[in-house]
Structure 1
Amino acid sequence: MAGLFFDELTIGQVFKHEIRRTITEADNVWFSALTHNPAYLHLDEEYCRTETEFGQRLVNSAFTLGLMVGISVGDTTLGTAIANLGWDEVRFPKPLFHGDTIRVETEVVDLRESRSRPEAGIVTFLHRAYNQHGDLVAQCRRSGLQRKRPS
Protein backbone atom coordinates (compact mmCIF):
# COMPACT_ATOMS: atom_id res chain seq x y z
CA MET A 1 0.00 0.00 0.00
CA ALA A 2 1.49 3.34 -1.05
CA GLY A 3 -0.53 5.68 1.19
CA LEU A 4 0.35 6.52 4.75
CA PHE A 5 -1.71 5.83 7.83
CA PHE A 6 -2.92 8.74 9.97
CA ASP A 7 -0.35 7.90 12.67
CA GLU A 8 2.51 8.07 10.13
CA LEU A 9 1.77 11.70 9.22
CA THR A 10 3.19 14.75 11.01
CA ILE A 11 2.27 18.42 10.80
CA GLY A 12 4.76 20.18 8.56
CA GLN A 13 5.61 17.03 6.58
CA VAL A 14 6.08 17.91 2.89
CA PHE A 15 5.77 15.56 -0.06
CA LYS A 16 7.42 16.55 -3.35
CA HIS A 17 5.55 14.23 -5.66
CA GLU A 18 7.64 12.59 -8.38
CA ILE A 19 4.82 12.46 -10.93
CA ARG A 20 4.77 15.43 -13.30
CA ARG A 21 2.23 15.94 -16.06
CA THR A 22 2.20 17.93 -19.28
CA ILE A 23 -1.35 19.10 -20.01
CA THR A 24 -2.54 18.57 -23.55
CA GLU A 25 -5.26 20.16 -25.64
CA ALA A 26 -7.07 16.81 -25.59
CA ASP A 27 -7.07 16.78 -21.76
CA ASN A 28 -8.66 20.22 -21.62
CA VAL A 29 -11.24 19.78 -24.40
CA TRP A 30 -12.23 16.28 -23.28
CA PHE A 31 -12.63 17.29 -19.63
CA SER A 32 -14.61 20.42 -20.54
CA ALA A 33 -16.90 18.40 -22.82
CA LEU A 34 -17.39 15.59 -20.26
CA THR A 35 -18.41 18.11 -17.59
CA HIS A 36 -20.70 20.06 -19.97
CA ASN A 37 -18.65 23.22 -19.55
CA PRO A 38 -19.07 25.26 -22.76
CA ALA A 39 -16.91 28.20 -21.64
CA TYR A 40 -15.20 29.89 -24.59
CA LEU A 41 -12.09 30.24 -22.41
CA HIS A 42 -11.52 26.48 -22.67
CA LEU A 43 -12.87 25.67 -26.12
CA ASP A 44 -12.71 28.61 -28.54
CA GLU A 45 -9.15 29.41 -29.65
CA GLU A 46 -10.23 32.33 -31.87
CA TYR A 47 -12.23 33.94 -29.07
CA CYS A 48 -9.29 33.62 -26.69
CA ARG A 49 -6.83 34.98 -29.25
CA THR A 50 -8.91 38.10 -30.04
CA GLU A 51 -11.09 38.74 -26.97
CA THR A 52 -8.97 37.85 -23.92
CA GLU A 53 -5.77 39.04 -22.34
CA PHE A 54 -4.36 35.50 -22.53
CA GLY A 55 -4.33 35.10 -26.31
CA GLN A 56 -4.95 31.36 -26.04
CA ARG A 57 -7.26 28.86 -24.35
CA LEU A 58 -6.99 28.33 -20.62
CA VAL A 59 -6.93 24.89 -19.02
CA ASN A 60 -10.19 24.20 -17.19
CA SER A 61 -9.57 24.95 -13.50
CA ALA A 62 -11.65 21.96 -12.37
CA PHE A 63 -9.28 19.73 -14.36
CA THR A 64 -6.30 21.48 -12.73
CA LEU A 65 -7.78 20.89 -9.26
CA GLY A 66 -8.47 17.21 -9.93
CA LEU A 67 -5.03 16.64 -11.44
CA MET A 68 -3.26 18.39 -8.57
CA VAL A 69 -5.03 16.28 -5.96
CA GLY A 70 -4.75 13.11 -8.07
CA ILE A 71 -0.98 13.44 -8.36
CA SER A 72 -0.77 13.51 -4.55
CA VAL A 73 -2.75 10.33 -3.89
CA GLY A 74 -0.02 7.74 -4.45
CA ASP A 75 2.25 9.24 -1.80
CA THR A 76 -0.38 10.18 0.77
CA THR A 77 -3.75 8.43 0.76
CA LEU A 78 -3.73 5.47 -1.64
CA GLY A 79 -5.30 2.57 0.27
CA THR A 80 -5.45 4.47 3.57
CA ALA A 81 -8.16 7.05 2.87
CA ILE A 82 -11.66 6.35 4.11
CA ALA A 83 -13.28 9.45 2.61
CA ASN A 84 -12.52 12.86 1.17
CA LEU A 85 -14.23 15.40 3.46
CA GLY A 86 -13.79 18.59 1.49
CA TRP A 87 -11.72 21.08 -0.43
CA ASP A 88 -11.28 24.59 0.95
CA GLU A 89 -9.46 27.74 -0.05
CA VAL A 90 -9.12 26.63 -3.68
CA ARG A 91 -7.05 29.21 -5.60
CA PHE A 92 -5.67 29.55 -9.13
CA PRO A 93 -3.19 32.46 -8.99
CA LYS A 94 -1.92 31.94 -12.56
CA PRO A 95 -3.48 30.22 -15.56
CA LEU A 96 -2.35 26.98 -17.16
CA PHE A 97 -2.15 26.55 -20.92
CA HIS A 98 -1.88 23.57 -23.27
CA GLY A 99 1.70 22.31 -23.13
CA ASP A 100 2.37 23.42 -19.55
CA THR A 101 3.84 20.82 -17.21
CA ILE A 102 2.83 20.76 -13.57
CA ARG A 103 4.51 19.40 -10.50
CA VAL A 104 2.84 19.13 -7.10
CA GLU A 105 3.87 19.45 -3.47
CA THR A 106 1.69 18.51 -0.51
CA GLU A 107 2.11 19.66 3.07
CA VAL A 108 0.35 18.19 6.11
CA VAL A 109 -1.09 21.25 7.88
CA ASP A 110 -3.41 19.72 10.48
CA LEU A 111 -4.10 16.40 12.18
CA ARG A 112 -6.81 15.55 14.65
CA GLU A 113 -8.34 12.42 16.07
CA SER A 114 -11.81 11.55 14.81
CA ARG A 115 -14.41 11.96 17.56
CA SER A 116 -16.76 9.40 16.02
CA ARG A 117 -14.28 6.85 14.62
CA PRO A 118 -11.50 5.68 16.92
CA GLU A 119 -9.83 3.80 14.04
CA ALA A 120 -9.36 7.01 12.04
CA GLY A 121 -8.18 10.60 12.12
CA ILE A 122 -8.78 13.73 10.08
CA VAL A 123 -5.86 15.06 8.09
CA THR A 124 -5.70 18.40 6.30
CA PHE A 125 -3.34 18.68 3.35
CA LEU A 126 -2.23 21.83 1.57
CA HIS A 127 -1.68 20.96 -2.10
CA ARG A 128 0.34 23.31 -4.32
CA ALA A 129 0.85 22.97 -8.08
CA TYR A 130 3.58 24.74 -10.04
CA ASN A 131 4.15 25.09 -13.76
CA GLN A 132 7.45 24.39 -15.51
CA HIS A 133 8.64 27.94 -14.71
CA GLY A 134 8.10 27.46 -10.96
CA ASP A 135 5.00 29.69 -10.86
CA LEU A 136 2.28 28.70 -8.39
CA VAL A 137 -0.74 27.88 -10.56
CA ALA A 138 -3.08 26.20 -8.06
CA GLN A 139 -3.47 25.41 -4.40
CA CYS A 140 -6.11 24.08 -2.03
CA ARG A 141 -6.62 22.66 1.42
CA ARG A 142 -8.09 19.17 1.41
CA SER A 143 -9.44 17.36 4.45
CA GLY A 144 -9.84 13.62 4.59
CA LEU A 145 -10.71 10.82 6.93
CA GLN A 146 -7.61 8.61 7.12
CA ARG A 147 -7.19 5.12 8.56
CA LYS A 148 -4.92 4.60 11.54
CA ARG A 149 -2.41 1.77 11.46
CA PRO A 150 -4.21 -1.45 12.48
CA SER A 151 -3.31 -2.60 16.00
Structure 2
Amino acid sequence: MIVEQFFEDYEVGFERKTFGRTITESDIVIHAGQTGDHFPHHMDAEWCKTQDFGQRIAHGTLVFSVGIGMTASTINPRAMSYGYDRLRFIRPVFIADTINVTARIAEKRDHPRRRTHGIVVEGIEMVNQRKEAVLVCEHLYLVERRTPVDAG
Protein backbone atom coordinates (compact mmCIF):
# COMPACT_ATOMS: atom_id res chain seq x y z
CA MET A 1 0.00 0.00 0.00
CA ILE A 2 1.25 3.50 -0.78
CA VAL A 3 0.58 6.20 1.82
CA GLU A 4 1.95 9.65 1.08
CA GLN A 5 2.79 11.54 4.27
CA PHE A 6 4.89 14.63 4.72
CA PHE A 7 6.81 15.40 7.92
CA GLU A 8 3.98 17.64 9.09
CA ASP A 9 1.46 14.76 8.81
CA TYR A 10 3.14 12.51 11.39
CA GLU A 11 1.67 12.64 14.89
CA VAL A 12 3.68 11.82 18.00
CA GLY A 13 1.93 8.95 19.78
CA PHE A 14 0.49 7.32 16.65
CA GLU A 15 0.89 3.57 17.05
CA ARG A 16 0.64 0.55 14.82
CA LYS A 17 0.87 -3.15 15.67
CA THR A 18 1.76 -6.15 13.56
CA PHE A 19 0.41 -9.66 13.39
CA GLY A 20 2.56 -12.35 14.99
CA ARG A 21 5.39 -14.29 13.36
CA THR A 22 6.73 -17.54 14.77
CA ILE A 23 10.49 -18.03 14.61
CA THR A 24 11.39 -21.45 13.22
CA GLU A 25 14.46 -23.64 13.18
CA SER A 26 14.64 -22.98 9.43
CA ASP A 27 14.82 -19.24 10.10
CA ILE A 28 17.84 -19.77 12.33
CA VAL A 29 19.61 -22.14 9.94
CA ILE A 30 19.05 -19.86 6.93
CA HIS A 31 20.20 -16.78 8.87
CA ALA A 32 23.34 -18.60 10.01
CA GLY A 33 24.09 -19.50 6.40
CA GLN A 34 23.50 -15.94 5.20
CA THR A 35 25.62 -14.28 7.89
CA GLY A 36 28.24 -16.93 8.64
CA ASP A 37 27.26 -16.81 12.33
CA HIS A 38 27.30 -20.50 13.26
CA PHE A 39 27.99 -20.00 16.95
CA PRO A 40 26.81 -22.93 19.07
CA HIS A 41 24.25 -20.69 20.84
CA HIS A 42 22.26 -20.83 17.60
CA MET A 43 23.26 -24.13 16.02
CA ASP A 44 24.23 -26.75 18.61
CA ALA A 45 21.18 -28.10 20.45
CA GLU A 46 23.23 -30.48 22.62
CA TRP A 47 25.72 -27.82 23.72
CA CYS A 48 22.85 -25.43 24.48
CA LYS A 49 21.36 -27.97 26.89
CA THR A 50 24.44 -27.39 29.08
CA GLN A 51 23.97 -23.59 29.08
CA ASP A 52 21.74 -21.28 31.12
CA PHE A 53 18.96 -21.04 28.52
CA GLY A 54 18.91 -24.80 27.86
CA GLN A 55 18.02 -24.43 24.18
CA ARG A 56 19.09 -22.71 20.97
CA ILE A 57 18.67 -18.94 20.72
CA ALA A 58 17.68 -17.05 17.58
CA HIS A 59 20.31 -14.58 16.38
CA GLY A 60 19.58 -11.06 17.58
CA THR A 61 20.11 -9.86 14.03
CA LEU A 62 17.53 -12.39 12.83
CA VAL A 63 14.93 -11.15 15.32
CA PHE A 64 15.71 -7.55 14.36
CA SER A 65 15.42 -8.28 10.62
CA VAL A 66 12.20 -10.25 10.89
CA GLY A 67 10.60 -7.76 13.27
CA ILE A 68 11.48 -4.71 11.21
CA GLY A 69 10.27 -6.52 8.10
CA MET A 70 6.94 -7.09 9.85
CA THR A 71 6.49 -3.31 10.17
CA ALA A 72 7.12 -2.69 6.46
CA SER A 73 3.47 -2.56 5.42
CA THR A 74 3.36 0.72 3.50
CA ILE A 75 5.48 2.68 1.06
CA ASN A 76 5.75 6.42 1.63
CA PRO A 77 7.40 8.12 -1.35
CA ARG A 78 8.09 11.13 0.91
CA ALA A 79 10.17 9.17 3.45
CA MET A 80 13.07 6.76 3.69
CA SER A 81 14.78 4.88 6.47
CA TYR A 82 17.59 6.94 7.99
CA GLY A 83 18.87 4.18 10.26
CA TYR A 84 18.39 2.70 13.70
CA ASP A 85 19.50 3.89 17.14
CA ARG A 86 19.50 2.40 20.64
CA LEU A 87 19.12 -1.22 19.52
CA ARG A 88 18.94 -3.61 22.47
CA PHE A 89 18.37 -7.36 22.69
CA ILE A 90 16.34 -7.60 25.90
CA ARG A 91 15.54 -11.33 26.08
CA PRO A 92 16.42 -14.35 23.98
CA VAL A 93 14.03 -15.60 21.33
CA PHE A 94 13.78 -19.37 21.00
CA ILE A 95 12.56 -21.70 18.27
CA ALA A 96 8.72 -21.61 18.26
CA ASP A 97 8.51 -18.20 19.97
CA THR A 98 6.09 -15.83 18.27
CA ILE A 99 7.01 -12.16 18.05
CA ASN A 100 4.74 -9.16 17.61
CA VAL A 101 5.87 -5.59 16.99
CA THR A 102 4.53 -2.24 18.12
CA ALA A 103 5.80 0.84 16.31
CA ARG A 104 4.99 4.21 17.93
CA ILE A 105 5.91 7.67 16.69
CA ALA A 106 8.04 8.93 19.59
CA GLU A 107 9.52 12.16 18.28
CA LYS A 108 9.75 14.60 15.37
CA ARG A 109 12.72 16.91 14.98
CA ASP A 110 14.42 19.16 12.50
CA HIS A 111 17.20 17.73 10.41
CA PRO A 112 20.46 19.48 11.37
CA ARG A 113 21.32 20.38 7.75
CA ARG A 114 18.37 19.73 5.46
CA ARG A 115 15.71 22.43 5.57
CA THR A 116 13.52 20.38 3.23
CA HIS A 117 13.35 17.31 5.50
CA GLY A 118 12.75 16.37 9.11
CA ILE A 119 13.48 13.30 11.18
CA VAL A 120 10.67 11.14 12.53
CA VAL A 121 11.66 8.70 15.28
CA GLU A 122 9.59 5.56 15.60
CA GLY A 123 10.01 3.59 18.82
CA ILE A 124 10.01 -0.14 18.08
CA GLU A 125 9.18 -2.78 20.67
CA MET A 126 9.17 -6.48 19.85
CA VAL A 127 7.52 -8.85 22.30
CA ASN A 128 7.18 -12.61 22.53
CA GLN A 129 3.95 -14.57 23.02
CA ARG A 130 4.15 -13.89 26.78
CA LYS A 131 4.18 -10.12 26.07
CA GLU A 132 7.80 -9.92 27.28
CA ALA A 133 9.99 -7.39 25.48
CA VAL A 134 12.67 -9.15 23.44
CA LEU A 135 14.05 -6.24 21.39
CA VAL A 136 13.73 -2.47 21.35
CA CYS A 137 15.17 0.19 19.07
CA GLU A 138 14.47 3.52 17.45
CA HIS A 139 13.82 3.63 13.71
CA LEU A 140 14.69 6.99 12.19
CA TYR A 141 12.97 8.20 9.05
CA LEU A 142 14.11 11.06 6.85
CA VAL A 143 10.82 12.66 5.78
CA GLU A 144 10.20 15.39 3.24
CA ARG A 145 8.57 18.54 4.56
CA ARG A 146 5.57 20.01 2.83
CA THR A 147 7.07 23.44 3.58
CA PRO A 148 10.83 23.87 4.13
CA VAL A 149 11.83 25.48 7.42
CA ASP A 150 13.24 29.00 7.35
CA ALA A 151 17.01 29.22 7.02
CA GLY A 152 16.93 32.02 9.60
TM range (shorter): 0.7 to 0.9
Amino acid at match of 2:10: L
Q: Which residue of 1 aligns with 2:11?
A: 10
Rate the CA distance shift 1:33–1:15 in 2: closer, same or farther, 3 A: same
Instruction: Note if 1:60 corresponds to 2:59.
Output: yes
Aligned length: 145
Q: Which residue of 1 aligns with 2:88?
A: 91
Q: Which residue of 1 aligns with 2:140?
A: 143
Alignment RMSD, CA only?
2.0
Instruction: Note if 1:40 corresponds to 2:37.
Output: no
Identity of aligned residues (%): 30
Query: Please, which runs of 5 or more residues in structure 2 have no aligned partner?
Result: 148-152
Q: Which residue of 2 aligns with 1:71?
A: 70
Residues in 2 aligned to 1:48 and 1:4: alpha-carbon distance in whole angstroms: 47
Residues in 2 aligned to 1:81 and 1:138: alpha-carbon distance in whole angstroms: 28
Q: CA deviation at 1:53?
A: 0.5
Q: CA deviation at 1:79?
A: 3.3
From 100, 114, 117, give the equivalent of 1:116: 114
Instruction: Name segments (4+ residues, structure 1) moved above 6 Å.
Output: none
Residues in 2 aligned to 1:89 and 1:67: alpha-carbon distance in whole angstroms: 18
Rate the CA distance shift 1:4–1:14 in 2: closer, same or farther, 3 A: farther
Q: CA deviation at 1:4?
A: 5.3
